[in-house]
């Protein structure tokens, strides 16, 4: 009896030691790999103001036109009121905006991707956009209908970024070993990233339609995994002062938190002056944001900007 | 003998399998984190994984005030500063002891700083806030009393310190820069007052109390004098209406505060209630009160709006962020309001700065 129990115990000890060794080794290996990649340019910052003053007047229009942003909004029938608001408001500031819906909705024009699964919707939208518009746009911005975006600030943020480089930016989140851009804050891909993504979409081992072994992964994580195989890594977008420009919350929520956490510096500590996105808005709030961003301002405050953007046609409240 | 060692070996194998399994479970619990659900402070902290980048971690809660002030480095405020000197506005905010922490505090933290002088009027004096004690009671019935006494106080102590005298509530948000643009065309010696003009009861109309109203220096003199000579009395407790009646009696003109495209600048409600068609039901009193044809939707509100009312504390800061911070880079606004000629000339003379002249001529060129 004694010899059996001692062999059992020896077995348990050996098993645990073996397991511990494997886990440690595994972690060290992965950790190393990540660290070398991510240190290159993990935090993207908006261009410096000193660099901007060197651009001449005549170059401004040309430079502004060089950013061609194609907007993808993934919608479902339940999003119809947000869809209406988004359609009437900020998407008019994209160079082109298209809505990709899970099924055909009579009220609005959209590209029907014929699936309810968010990851499949995303894949089909990216493939459609790339196949059709690869030569016409150099930046691709994907958002949910609950997101409000200021495309002019997006273009300003992209000012010194070469679209032929693999950029994948937005509000980045860390989940274990994976850095991914949260879909709630909006996802920006350069044309190079789109190329790489699209070449992998047809490779099921790297970019499966059904990612995640035990439970389903969210679509933004699946995108990150897929892009990682192509050597494209998520980066958090910040302004020159370290504030996030892509936000997964609304202004109101930021303000409420600030009133609790730092009541003496509510607005100063809130959000970037050059914020690109906010999320979690109601349709009414979209209209209020349009007025608040594109119209309401203080007289006598003048800015000398490097880019020039004209108000779009067929749009009011901006 | 052989079978026993074989059995031992099997038991050993079982033990190692169990040990391995238990250990892997333990490790997966210890190391596995799904950090993606709530946008907590940690995930918004861009320097979470890279403390070595800048040598310090930049928590969202801690504000580097220096970093923030330089966000406005390429902002030119010459015109705003010039108007601050040219169009001096004293603001007084109607508040009460119970509202100091709830409401008045947020006014003080936001727009009140932009008045040339600001006073908080309450029934009781409070030396810490500070508030002026009007020695009245509190409540809706007291509003006109408080208003009369507040203007009296301002007249007695600060008449020469300002050209215009603005009354606001502690739930009014005022954009002083835009008020200065509006008033720059007028002379403070004119008997005139501005606000959101309502048409009932008073022939020339009267100004909504909540949306705020502003009196010229001459209007203030006449108003205070009217109570001394009993041309006006405390005729009712409905502050804005009673004041409007008095203004008509003493020949102070009810001005037109709309912008050059005819859009209203003073607003009795928050932006959402004006901008969203159908928000205010057609049976609401407002539709019959507005002096000028009321508009809902984008035409409701000027780009250079002066005030909003029923603004709660969160919305105070939101408006502050939207007006003075968030902007669309490089955007050429559709509406480009111009300054009056004499002020433009003054600014041109005052600033020998080439850049400003270029900017100003750019401003003038656009319609």
Among A11, A264, A301, select the one facing B16 at the smallest CB separation. Answer: A11
Q: What pLDDT is recorded for position B63?
A: 31
Highest mean pLDDT among A17-26, B24-33, B78-87: B78-87
Say how many C-beta atoms besides its own lie within 10 A of residue A173's C-beta: 25
With an 8 Å Cβ cutoff, are B67 and A242 in contact? yes
Residues of B in contact with A234 (CB under 8 A): none
- Tokens standing for residue B167: 């009354």
Q: Residue B327: pLDDT band by 50, 70, 90 thresholds?
A: very high
Among B24, B53, B304, select the one facing A299 at the smallest CB separation. Answer: B304
Q: Which residues contact B280 (CB under 8 A, 6 or more apart)?
A: B269, B273, B274, B286, B287, B296
With an 8 Å Cβ cutoff, are A294 and B328 in contact? yes
**Is residue B45 pLDDT above 80, yes or no?**
no
Q: What Å distances lie between residue A274 and A140, A156, A200, B325, CA to CA? A: 19, 8, 34, 8
**Is residue B51 pLDDT above 80, yes or no?**
no
Between A and B, how many residue pairs show a Cβ–Cβ distance under 8 A?
295
**Is residue B169 pLDDT above 80, yes or no?**
yes
Contact between B227 and B133 under an 8 Å Cβ cutoff? The reply is no
Name the nearest CA neighbour of B271 among A252, A88, A267, A93.
Answer: A252
Distance from CA of A241 to the nearest CA of B (A): 6
Of A124-128, A211-215, B8-12, B46-50, the range with the lowest mean pLDDT is B46-50
**Is residue B21 pLDDT above 50, yes or no?**
yes
Residue of B nearest to A60 (CA): B330
Q: Residue B362: pLDDT band by 50, 70, 90 thresholds?
A: low
With an 8 Å Cβ cutoff, are B7 and A317 in contact? no
Strand order in the sheet with A187-190: A43-45, A235-238, A168-170, A187-190, A139-143, A69-75, A96-101, A111-112
Each residue's pLDDT tens digit, A241-267 = 999 999 999 999 999 999 999 999 999
**Is residue A38 pLDDT above 60, yes or no?**
no
Each residue's pLDDT tens digit, B214-270 = 999 999 999 999 999 999 999 899 999 999 999 999 999 999 999 999 999 999 999
Q: What pLDDT is recorded for position B53?
A: 33
Residue with token string 């505090």 = B105
Give the span between the Cα atoms of B275 and B297, in whole angstroms. 4
Cα B215 → chain centroid: 20
Q: What pLDDT is recorded for position B69?
A: 38
Residues of B in contact with A317 (CB under 8 A): 275, 297-298
Highest mean pLDDT among B71-85, B290-304, B332-346, B348-362: B290-304
Q: What pLDDT is recorded for position B328?
A: 97
- Average pLDDT across chain B, whole number: 85
Q: What pLDDT is recorded for position B1?
A: 55
**Chain A neighbours among B 192-231 (CB < 8 Å)?**
none
- Average pLDDT across chain A, whole number: 89
**Chain A neighbours among B 25-44 (CB < 8 Å)?**
27, 31-36, 39, 43-44
DSSP A123-169: HHHHHHHHHHHTTT-SEEEEE-TTEEE-HHHHHHHTTT--TTS--EE
> What is the model's pTM?
0.82
- Residue A75 bridge partners (DSSP): A101
Name the nearest CA neighbour of B142 among B206, B194, B195, B94.
Answer: B94
Say how many C-beta atoms besides its own lie within 10 A of residue B79's C-beta: 24
Distance from CA of A180 to the nearest CA of B (A): 9
Q: Residue B72: pLDDT band by 50, 70, 90 thresholds?
A: low
Residues of B in contact with A54 (CB under 8 A): none
Q: What Å distances lie between residue B285 and A137, A180, B263, B291, CA to CA? A: 51, 52, 20, 13
């Amino acid at each position: 009896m004694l010899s059996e129990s001692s062999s059992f115990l020896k077995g348990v000890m050996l098993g645990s030691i073996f397991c511990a060794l494997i886990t440690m080794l595994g972690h060290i290996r992965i950790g190393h790999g990540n660290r070398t990649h991510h240190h290159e340019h993990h935090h993207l910052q908006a261009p410096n103001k000193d660099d901007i003053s060197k651009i001449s007047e005549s170059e401004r229009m040309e430079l502004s036109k060089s950013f061609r942003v194609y907007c993808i909004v993934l919608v479902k029938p339940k999003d119809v009121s947000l869809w209406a608001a988004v359609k009437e408001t900020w998407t008019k500031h994209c160079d082109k905006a298209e809505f990709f819906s899970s099924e055909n909705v009579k009220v609005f024009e959209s590209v029907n991707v014929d699936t309810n699964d968010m990851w499949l919707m995303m894949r089909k939208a990216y493939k459609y956009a790339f196949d059709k518009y690869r030569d016409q746009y150099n930046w691709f911005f994907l958002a949910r209908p609950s997101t409000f975006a200021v495309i002019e600030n997006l273009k300003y943020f992209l000012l010194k970024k070469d679209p032929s480089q693999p950029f994948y930016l937005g509000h980045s989140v860390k989940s274990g070993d994976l850095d991914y851009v949260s879909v709630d804050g909006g996802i920006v891909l350069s044309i190079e990233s789109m190329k790489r993504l699209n070449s992998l979409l047809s490779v099921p081992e790297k970019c499966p339609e059904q990612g995640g072994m035990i439970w389903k992964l969210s679509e933004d994580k699946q995108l990150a995994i897929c892009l990682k195989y192509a050597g494209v890594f998520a980066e958090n977008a910040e302004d020159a002062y370290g504030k996030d420009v892509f936000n997964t919350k609304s202004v109101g929520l930021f303000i409420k938190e600030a009133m609790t956490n730092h009541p003496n510096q509510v607005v100063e500590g809130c959000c970037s002056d050059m914020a690109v996105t906010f999320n979690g808005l109601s349709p009414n709030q979209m209209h209020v944001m349009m007025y608040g961003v594109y119209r309401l301002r203080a007289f006598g405050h003048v800015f000398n900007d490097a880019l020039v953007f004209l108000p779009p046609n067929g749009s009011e409240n901006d | 003998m052989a079978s026993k060692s074989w059995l031992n070996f099997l038991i050993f194998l079982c033990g190692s399998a169990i040990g391995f399994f238990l250990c892997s479970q333990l490790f997966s619990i210890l190391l596995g984190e799904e950090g993606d659900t709530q946008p907590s402070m940690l995930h918004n902290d861009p320097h979470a994984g890279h403390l070595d980048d800048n040598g310090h971690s930049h928590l969202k809660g801690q504000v580097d005030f220096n970093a923030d002030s330089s966000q406005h480095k390429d902002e030119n405020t010459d015109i705003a500063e010039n108007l601050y000197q040219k169009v001096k506005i004293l603001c007084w905010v109607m508040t009460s002891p119970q509202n100091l922490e709830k409401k008045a505090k947020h006014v003080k933290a936001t727009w009140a700083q932009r008045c040339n002088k600001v006073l908080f009027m309450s029934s009781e004096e409070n030396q810490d806030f500070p508030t002026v004690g009007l020695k009245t009671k509190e409540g809706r019935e007291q509003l006109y009393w408080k208003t009369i006494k507040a203007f009296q106080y301002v007249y007695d102590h600060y008449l020469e310190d300002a050209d215009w005298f603005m009354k606001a509530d502690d739930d009014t948000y005022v954009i002083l820069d835009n008020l200065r643009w509006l008033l720059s065309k007028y002379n403070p010696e004119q008997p005139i007052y501005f606000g959101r003009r309502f048409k009932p009861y008073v022939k020339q109309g009267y100004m909504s109390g909540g949306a705020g109203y502003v009196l010229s220096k001459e209007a203030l003199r006449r108003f205070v004098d009217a109570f001394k000579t009993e041309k006006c009395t405390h005729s009712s407790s409905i502050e804005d209406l009673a004041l409007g009646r008095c203004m008509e009696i003493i020949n102070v003109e009810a001005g037109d505060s709309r912008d050059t495209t005819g859009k209203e600048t003073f607003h009795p409600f928050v932006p959402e209630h004006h901008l969203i068609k159908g928000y205010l039901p057609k049976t609401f009193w407002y539709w019959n009160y507005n002096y000028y044809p009321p508009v809902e939707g984008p035409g409701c509100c000027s780009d250079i709006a002066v005030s909003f009312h029923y603004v709660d504390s969160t919305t105070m800061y939101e408006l502050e962020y939207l007006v003075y911070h968030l902007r669309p880079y490089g955007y050429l606004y559709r509406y480009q309001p111009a300054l009056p000629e004499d002020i433009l000339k003054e600014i041109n003379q005052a600033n020998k700065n080439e850049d400003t002249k270029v900017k100003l001529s750019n401003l003038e060129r656009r319609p």
